[in-house]
Structure 1
Amino acid sequence: MNAVVINNYGDENNLELTKLPIPKISDNQVLIQTKATSINPIDWKLREGYLKQMFDWTFPIILGWDISGVITKIGANVTDWHVGDAVFARPATTKQGTYAEYVAVDANLLAHKPDNISFEEAAAVPLAGETAYQALITHGKLKKGESVLIQAGSGGVGTYAIQIAKSLGAHVTTTTSSKHFELVKELGADEIIDYKKEKISDKLTNIDLVIDTIGGKTQEESFDILNRDSGRQISIVGKSKNTDNIIKNSNIKFQDIWLQPSGNDLQKIAALMKDGKVKSVIDTIIEFSRDGLVKAHKLSATNHSAGKIVIKF
């Protein structure tokens, strides 16, 4: 099979197209013929070596942790899935990623692809969508009628977070640049703040939940707008150096999270997509090739794409 790998850490020119054996599956896995994958910041951060202490892997490494495709083989213990099923998943974080024509995926991480969305739309969802779901619901405990601020609402996680929060009946505010106002309004944002021109502390107060996708000073300033008795902030980018001091004498809760891949969570998002309550926002679709992935990595690293960058096989 064709796969794009890295054999060294460094810039996007280290991406290489190579031939590898089709993966063998365990008894609890399925083999998926890849129809599409998508790009996430973890892809190029790992490629550059920023995560090598967390993931002590030997080369070659296949990047990519989103997949949509068709099951071509099932393991001996797999009973809920069948050859020919159209599925999508956020596979386990291993060195055998999804920049490949075939991928072995744990069966418990799968969800059925809704019939009303394409493989490209499905591939955009898993990592970003599950991150948004777990930040809002699993950890953020967002409830109907509560208020939530979603930072960077036009980004990969932000676009799903706005829609999931609206499906819960929350009041949604988001930050973005003026060129993306129409997009986030269409997704369901009730209030929009232009982060280039406005401060959130001048516009908001007594917010129940903040979803932090930026970190640093932005994370620290967000505590000023939270409800002092029950406010909480969930970050997907780690804890800022001053956060503990800011909240030490308050009832505000803070948690930085790392996605736990979940087929159950993804199936709940799939149900929302089937009902038309959540859709994928795709910035660009690029054909699978070494040059295509180089282009995709460069675009993702600018942090200026709206929604997701998808690789089509």
Structure 2
Amino acid sequence: MKGISYSRYGGPEVLEYGDVRDPKVGPDQVLVKVRAAAVNPVDWKCREGYLDAVLDVVFPVVPGWDVSGVVVQPGTSVPEFSVGDEVIGYVREDFLSRGTFAEYVAAPVRTLARKPRNLSFEEAAGLPLAGLTAYQVLVKALEVERGETVLVHAAAGGVGSLAVQIAVHLGARVIGTAGEHNHDFVRGLGGEPVAHGEGLADRVRALVPEGVDAAFDTIGGETLKTSADLLAPEGRLASIADSEVLSYGGRYCFARADAEDLTKLSRLAEEGAVSVHVQETFPLERTADAHRLSQEGRTRGKIVVTVDWAAEEATP
């Protein structure tokens, strides 16, 4: 089968399009015909070796953790899915080797949920990792409740845009930091936008003089410190970007593959509470360009790679 792989750490130039090994389908796995796979910042961080201390690597590596597609073979111990089912998945294992940027992926059943019926494959591919990150931080780490005020950083990005929508669904007032060109986008998600950068703390305090009940840091560094300073006396803090959050009494979070949580996200999408904005799509063979765009750090919503099956399916 065709796919993307890399045999050493490095920049986007190490990504190669070509033949990759066919996946074997274990008893607790599902063979998925990939229609789309979203790019996340963790993909290029893995590619450059930043996670080498915590994840074993078996080269060559097929990158990617997000997927949407169609079940073509359930494992022998999998009654949950049947051939033809449309699914989404956060297909992360505890090592790097068998990713989603390929024509097929053997996904552990614990990583999958049914695809939202109202989302395209491209939109649905952007939901798993970013959505699980946002959901698990807001619901499980920060325990956001109705009537509270939540500060979300990078509110126009992949995780941030979903966090704004989920927090609004939970009944919270959401303050979202974003560049001014993204303020209307954040408003459309239900958040109150504030410009990031110098003077951020003053701008947030003008909106919430008593401090925020919860802050969701996606950037780290000075932004994390500012978030801690903006908390109300009993406020809670979580970060997905900087372990220094622990020194402020906060939670350091990393998304966990959880079929139940992913199913809840899929239902929120079908109810219209959550949508996925796709900034740009790339064909599978141009995954390196998708990585380059992701590394620029100015993405609105998600970047998605697609697998074009049209030519093959049209062949008699």
TM-score normalised to the size of structure 2? 0.92
Within 5 A, what are the aligned runs for 1:273-312?
A: 273-289=269-285, 292-312=286-306
Q: How far apart, CA to CA, are the structure 1 residues paired with 2:287 and 2:53?
A: 24
Per-residue CA shift, 1:142-166, capped at 9, x if unaligned? 0111110000001110010000001
Change (3 A) 1:120 1:202: closer
Q: How many angstroms does 1:114 deviate by?
A: 1.6
1:192 is the counterpart of 2:193: yes
Give the stretch that moved more between structures: 253-262 or 4-13.
Answer: 253-262
Structure 2: which 5+ runs fail to align?
Answer: 308-316
Alignment deviations for residues 175-203 of structure 1 (CA, whole Å, 9 cap, x no partner): 000000010100110x2110135422443
- Mapped pair 1:11 → 2:5: no
Alignment of 1:219 onto 2:224: yes
Give the structure 2 partner of residue 152 of structure 1: 154
**Secondary structure, counterpart of 2:280 in structure 1:** strand
Give the counterpart letter for 2:88 in structure 1. F
Instruction: Give CA-to-partner distance per residue, 1:78-125, whole Å, 9 cap, x none.
Output: 111101100001012341000110001111221111211110010011
Other-structure match for 2:77: 77
- What SS class does the counterpart of residue 57 from structure 1 fall into? strand
Q: Determine if the alignment matches structure 1 residue 254 to structure 2 residue 256.
A: no
Q: Give the Cα separation in 2 of the matches to 1:220 and 1:185.
A: 25
- The DSSP-based 3-state class of the residue aligned with 2:131 is helix
Please state if 1:121 is matched with 2:115. no
- Mean Cα displacement is larger for which, 74-83 or 197-206? 197-206
Residues 82, 99 of structure 1: alpha-carbon distance in 2 compared, 3 angstrom cutoff: same
Contact 2:194 / 2:203 at 8 angstroms: preserved in 1?
A: no
CA shift at 1:21, angstroms?
A: 3.2
Contact kept in structure 2, 1:201 and 1:224, CA below 8 Å: no
2: distance between equivalents of 1:203 and 1:24? Answer: 51
Q: Partners of 1:159 and 1:72 in 2: how far apart? A: 32
- 1:304 to partner: Cα distance: 0.5
Matched, 1:20 2:24: no
Cα distance in 2 between the residues matched to 1:109 and 1:48: 25
| 1:143 aligned residue | 145
Q: Is the 8 A contact 1:234 1:256 kept in 2?
A: yes
CA distance in structure 1 between the aligned counterparts of 2:110 and 2:271, rounded to whole angstroms: 23
Q: Give per-residue Cα distances to partners, 1:52-97, cap 9 Å, x unaligned.
A: 1211212100110000000000111111110110000101234100
TM-score of the aligned structures, taking structure 1 as reference length? 0.93
2: CA distance between counterparts of 1:62 and 1:206?
A: 44
> 1:258: Cα distance to partner?
1.3
Classify 1:202/1:20 alpha carbon distance in 2 versus 1 (closer, same or farther; 3 Å): closer
Write out per-residue CA displacement over residues 18-53 of structure 1, whole angstroms, 9 at most, x where no aligned residue: 212321111111100000001001111111111112
Instruction: Name the aligned partner's letter for residue 270 of structure 1.
Output: S
Tell me the equivalent position of 1:250: none
Q: Structure 1 unaligned segments of length 5 or more: list them.
A: 248-252
Taking the aligned partners of 1:107 and 1:56, their CA distance within structure 2 comes to: 22
Partner Cα distance (1:53, 1:198) in 2: 36
Q: Distance in 2 between matches of 1:109 and 1:237?
A: 23
CA distance in 2 between partners of 1:238 and 1:25 (Å): 36
Distance 1:135 1:51 in 2: 21
1:210-264 deviations in Å (ceiling 9; x for gaps): 0000001110121111111x211110012238x62xx4xxxxx401011111111
In structure 2, the partner of 1:31 is: 31
SS in 1 for 2:261: helix
Q: Secondary structure at the match of 1:279?
A: coil
CA-atom RMSD in angstroms = 1.3
SS of residue matched to 2:34: strand
Matched length: 301
- What does residue 168 of structure 1 align with? 170
Seq. identity, %: 38
CA distance in structure 1 between the aligned counterparts of 2:69 and 2:242, rounded to whole angstroms = 32
Equivalent-residue separation in structure 1 for 2:34 and 2:255 (angstroms) = 22
Query: Is 1:220–1:240's contact at 8 Å kept on the other side of the alignment?
Result: no
CA distance, structure 1, for counterparts of residue 204 and residue 37 of structure 2: 38
